[in-house]
Structure 1
Amino acid sequence: MDQLLKWAILNSATENEDAPKTTTEKNTQELDPAVIDAILGKPISDQMLEIMLYLEDPNSPVEGKVNELDNLEMFVEQIDSASDLEPLGMWPRLLALLCSDSDQVISGTLWVIGTALQHNPKAQAAFGKYDGLEKLLQKFKASANSNIKAKAIYAISALLRNNLRAFTDFIKLGGIDTLLFALPERKIANRITFLLLALVNESTDTIATAEFKPPKSFPIALIDAGIFGPLFTILSEIVDIPESVDELQNTLLLVLGLLRAAYLDKQNFMLTSTCDLNILQNFKSHLQALKNIFSDSTDSPLTLEDWSLLDKATSFI
């Protein structure tokens, strides 16, 4: 221990003191940064900025941009890299790519944005500085491309989940009406349903604190906005499509979550007050077929209590 203490004292001496030199000076040349990059690889932040420059170059081919967006998406899967988008000044530049003439570039950009926002409060807060949610909703409404709409839903979902501030902005921007208006579009209906189901479940979660979830009134707001009509229509349309089991399940679970909230809010709740009678009658005619689809499934989350609730809700039709 004494020897170690002496060594520490000697090594902390200044150049003007009589400390023995433990190394000899050597003439060395600084390594070329390019050589270091070749050996160790460039820092991820540098690579991300290089990708951004490539994406902004009007002479870069679309195919190359799509490939670079895939690479960027891979980088921002890491929370630290996603958080670096703000100090690197990349958020406004990414949002500007949503105005691209290429649907492929727009779709890839939305995918990058969604991945960066997932489970990342720091990135979500930074994204909000640039009216990001408003631009996502605008792109969702303006595009006729179902792939772009699907990717926009992915990004919106990544921003809203467990994020009350973003959810509040979503309501102010008319997000509910925007999603419900698009719900009849078959190619994106399941994504919308899944997002709304997740938000309804969050709003009724008794464990999560209020700062991280939508208010308890959210399911009632969906009902008042007329969500039952399109949901029952979807169920009636896809009940005979074998590959639609997942969509059927998500839609039924959303209906059940809304019904529970409705009966808790008002014991004498009637579906006819929020939904066209013809739509309800059509749904009721398919109810037994829906039961048959899930009756043989051992891993279905739908219980006998769930089916009883649906029977109760449609018993007066």
Structure 2
Amino acid sequence: MDKQLLKWAITNSNTDTAEGEQQQPAPDVKERGQRRIDPEIIDAILGKSDAVRMKEAIASISDPNETVENKEIAFDNLEMLVEQIDNANDIEKMNLWPKLISFLSFAETSLRIQALWVCGTAVQNNIKAQKAFIDHGGLRIALEMLKNTNEDGEVKSKALYAVSGSIKHYTPGLVQFEKEGGYESLLTLLQTSDNLPTLRKTVFLFNTLLLQNPEIVAKNIEEKGLSRQMIKILEQYGEQDEDLTHKILVTFLTLLRNSPKSLSPEETSELKHSLPELKKKYGSDVMLSGGEWDELEKNLSN
């Protein structure tokens, strides 16, 4: 390879032998327009394009004869590549989304996790990738994973990452999320998961969506029983996990700011009953600011 590279560099030099004297090609070298240069030499000099590297990663992952370890390495490389918005958009341009989404059905848990990770990274703050992921059925499959009680917990965590990325700050995605039974899937997740990080991420997603589209999201949170389930989680973990408690209270504060009558009388009573002990445990200026505590309590009393 080194000798080839050296030969290529020498034969393609534009250096004149003397001023005004035209350099003549070596006798055994064809005219430049007819010469075929070894692609390996070009790759060695310029490096492969990101598009080529993405295709190679997809091909490696698709290869039934490739080892799981090598597929995991290919997934790692692909995930780093799609962090760049142009590369994420190229997934659709190169018609790679169908193949990528097919990887969500791998039998190996580690590969399902990494496939979801790639999808979730590609759709972050990227409207074109969000649309492509949803149009190719990625959202539907990820939501099915969330409500599958037999699915691995880490797979569900990464599925939530992909779902969240595909609908945040993207109204058509939120509309499709509702059509695909997204709220019901998240309710099942809250009811069946005892993984605290997953519970935190789910509640935080509700708060984000409330800020994005308060009227529609508030209605679904109440009608689908999500507010009642959050109160149950608060009663179960409220004095054990400060971060989860904070996210639940902030979400209820956002909910009540935008839809003061969204909680049932029973839910209002239960949540109001929980606040004094939580305020005492975490302090009036730690979990929420003093003004936020007052606002939450006032909204629950109206």
TM interval, shorter chain, is 0.7 to 0.9
Query: Structure 2: how far apart are the matches of 1:287 and 1:223?
Result: 24
**Deviation digits for residues 123-169 of structure 1 (CA, Å, limit 9, x no counterpart):** 12222331221122122223521111110110011110111111111
Structure 1 pair 88/289, CA: closer, same or farther in 2 (3 Å)? same
Structure 1 pair 101/255, CA: closer, same or farther in 2 (3 Å)? same
Residue in 2 that maps onto 1:151: 158
Residue in 2 that maps onto 1:193: 203
Structure 1 pair 250/286, CA: closer, same or farther in 2 (3 Å)? same
Residue in 2 that maps onto 1:249: 246
Residue in 1 that maps onto 2:38: 32
Query: Is the aligned partner of 1:308 residue 2:294?
Result: yes
Query: Structure 2: how far apart are the matches of 1:84 and 1:312?
Result: 50
Query: Is the aligned partner of 1:173 residue 2:180?
Result: yes
Opposite residue 177 of structure 1, the aligned amino acid is E
Structure 1 pair 200/270, CA: closer, same or farther in 2 (3 Å)? closer
Query: Structure 1: how far apart are the matches of 2:295 and 2:280?
Result: 13
Structure 1 pair 23/124, CA: closer, same or farther in 2 (3 Å)? farther
Structure 1 pair 167/285, CA: closer, same or farther in 2 (3 Å)? closer
What SS does structure 1 have at the residue aligned with 2:92? coil
Query: Is the aligned partner of 1:132 residue 2:138?
Result: yes
Q: 1:161 aligns with which of 160, 168, 183?
A: 168
Unpaired segments of 5 or more residues in structure 1? 1-20, 205-215
Query: Is the aligned partner of 1:118 residue 2:108?
Result: no
Kindly state the Cα deviation for residue 287 of structure 1 after the two structures are TM-superposed.
Answer: 3.2
Give the alignment's Cα RMSD to 1 decimal. Answer: 2.5
Kindly state the Cα deviation for residue 232 of structure 1 after the two structures are TM-superposed.
Answer: 1.4
Residue in 2 that maps onto 1:6: none
Residue in 1 that maps onto 2:219: 220
Residue in 1 that maps onto 2:83: 77
Kindly state the Cα deviation for residue 253 of structure 1 after the two structures are TM-superposed.
Answer: 0.6
Kindly state the Cα deviation for residue 79 of structure 1 after the two structures are TM-superposed.
Answer: 0.5
Residue in 1 that maps onto 2:231: 232
Query: Structure 1: how far apart are the matches of 2:82 and 2:178?
Result: 28
Structure 1 pair 164/31, CA: closer, same or farther in 2 (3 Å)? same
Query: Structure 2: how far apart are the matches of 1:217 and 1:168?
Result: 9
Kindly state the Cα deviation for residue 250 of structure 1 after the two structures are TM-superposed.
Answer: 1.1
Query: Structure 2: how far apart are the matches of 1:217 and 1:128?
Result: 20
What SS does structure 2 have at the residue aligned with 1:85? helix
Task: Point out the more displaced range, 181-190 or 303-312.
Answer: 303-312
Residue in 2 that maps onto 1:88: 94
Contact 2:134/2:166 (8 A) holds in 1:
no
Residue in 1 that maps onto 2:264: 271
Kindly state the Cα deviation for residue 97 of structure 1 after the two structures are TM-superposed.
Answer: 0.8
Query: Structure 2: how far apart are the matches of 1:69 and 1:270?
Result: 44
Between the aligned residues of both structures, percent identity stands at 32
- Total equivalences in the alignment: 272
Kindly state the Cα deviation for residue 22 of structure 1 after the two structures are TM-superposed.
Answer: 10
Opposite residue 191 of structure 1, the aligned amino acid is K
Opposite residue 76 of structure 1, the aligned amino acid is V
Query: Structure 1: how far apart are the matches of 2:268 and 2:250?
Result: 21
What SS does structure 1 have at the residue aligned with 2:93? coil
Residue in 2 that maps onto 1:8: none
Structure 1 pair 221/140, CA: closer, same or farther in 2 (3 Å)? closer
Kindly state the Cα deviation for residue 120 of structure 1 after the two structures are TM-superposed.
Answer: 1.1
Contact 2:238/2:245 (8 A) holds in 1:
yes
Structure 1 pair 42/294, CA: closer, same or farther in 2 (3 Å)? farther
Residue in 1 that maps onto 2:11: none
Contact 1:66/1:105 (8 A) holds in 2:
yes
Opposite residue 290 of structure 2, the aligned amino acid is L
Structure 2 length normalisation: TM-score? 0.81
Kindly state the Cα deviation for residue 314 of structure 1 after the two structures are TM-superposed.
Answer: 5.2
Opposite residue 144 of structure 1, the aligned amino acid is E
Query: Is the aligned partner of 1:284 residue 2:273?
Result: yes
Kindly state the Cα deviation for residue 257 of structure 1 after the two structures are TM-superposed.
Answer: 1.3
Contact 2:120/2:165 (8 A) holds in 1:
yes
Query: Structure 1: how far apart are the matches of 2:21 and 2:202?
Result: 68
Kindly state the Cα deviation for residue 292 of structure 1 after the two structures are TM-superposed.
Answer: 3.7
Kindly state the Cα deviation for residue 296 of structure 1 after the two structures are TM-superposed.
Answer: 5.1
Residue in 2 that maps onto 1:56: 62
Query: Structure 2: how far apart are the matches of 1:87 and 1:156?
Result: 22
Contact 1:134/1:173 (8 A) holds in 2:
yes
Contact 2:227/2:263 (8 A) holds in 1:
no
Task: Point out the more displaced range, 134-143 or 103-112.
Answer: 134-143
Opposite residue 310 of structure 1, the aligned amino acid is L
Kindly state the Cα deviation for residue 286 of structure 1 after the two structures are TM-superposed.
Answer: 5.5
